[in-house]
Amino acid sequence: MWLEEVEKLSKKQLRVMINRSFELADEPGQDRGPLYEKAAFYMRELEHRRDSWVSIRDFILEVVVIALIGWEIWIGYRAEHQQQTNFEEQKQVFDNLEKSSGATAGSLIAAQQVLQNMNVAMQKQLGLFYDVSINMVIDENKKDMVFINNGRTNISIWGIRAKGELPVTIKEGRVITPGGGYQMDVTADFDLITKRFLKPADGGLEFELYVKNERGEEFVQYGFLGIHWQNDVRQMVIQTRGIEPERWSKNPELKNAFSKATR
């Protein structure tokens, strides 16, 4: 039998050949040596084929193990890459959140500043609403001083005083609505200035007007009551120098005079 023929035999056929050799060796008169060698030859071929299968199996297992190790390494690399990607995404989210928080804080600061500016503007507008503006004119025939409220708040006139003289006071104050007016008898001041500046001398008296606005804030309006003689005709004029916030009610002298006011 040729080698090619032996290689073509299946494992089952090899086993049959081995068993046949042993059976022939057991028959009487047979030369057992060649038959045993033949059986051994077939057994070695069978074992060789088994060893080849084991080698192939081991090779396949090694390839599988290497593939598994490579797959595990790839999985680890992929997990690391995914973690890095997630970290970058989270970092981007936190950066955006920080920028958004900064923008929000900036917006809140800007809004707060706007509100503060609005509040200041409103306070200024409100302050303007309660500002006191008084126009004063003289009625020489009646010897009256007329006060006209040119502001936007109710005001109350509490008294007037010529410099160096006692104040003329009004009990509880005289309220004047915006655009309204009030006449106050100042005969004493007329007589005083006429006596001090006899014809043809010109002169005048400084005076203070005590006022409150609708919120009870106190003001003092400063002015000048003047006399001028022209062709023996007396002319009385009023000049106002300004009005200032001032707590005149805390002045002990004025406080005493207002407590005795009966007008």
Distance CA 30, CA 35 (A): 9
Distance CA 15, CA 256 (A): 144
Write down the pLDDT at residue 7.
63
Write down the pLDDT at residue 126.
58
Distance CA 184, CA 53 (A): 134
Considering the domain architecture, whether residues 124 and 137 belong to the same structural domain is answered as no
The structural domain count of the chain equals: 2
Considering the domain architecture, whether residues 120 and 232 belong to the same structural domain is answered as no
- Cα angle 187, 185, 154 (rounded to 5 degrees) comes to 150
- Cα angle 84, 86, 88 (rounded to 5 degrees) comes to 70
What's CA 216's distance to the chain center, in Å? 37
Considering the domain architecture, whether residues 14 and 124 belong to the same structural domain is answered as yes
Domain boundary (65, 94, 129) is at: 129
Considering the domain architecture, whether residues 125 and 138 belong to the same structural domain is answered as no
Domain that residue 238 falls in: 132-259
Least confident piece of the model among 31-45, 148-162, 241-255 = 31-45
Least confident piece of the model among 58-72, 88-102, 118-132, 217-231 = 118-132
Q: Where are the alpha helices (DSSP H) in 130-224?
A: 187-196
Q: Is the pLDDT of residue 105 over 70?
A: yes
Distance CA 139, CA 156 (A): 20
Considering the domain architecture, whether residues 144 and 98 belong to the same structural domain is answered as no
Q: Which residue has the higher pLDDT, 191 or 152?
A: 152
Mean pLDDT rounded to a whole number for the chain:
80
Least confident piece of the model among 47-51, 57-61, 85-89, 131-135 = 47-51
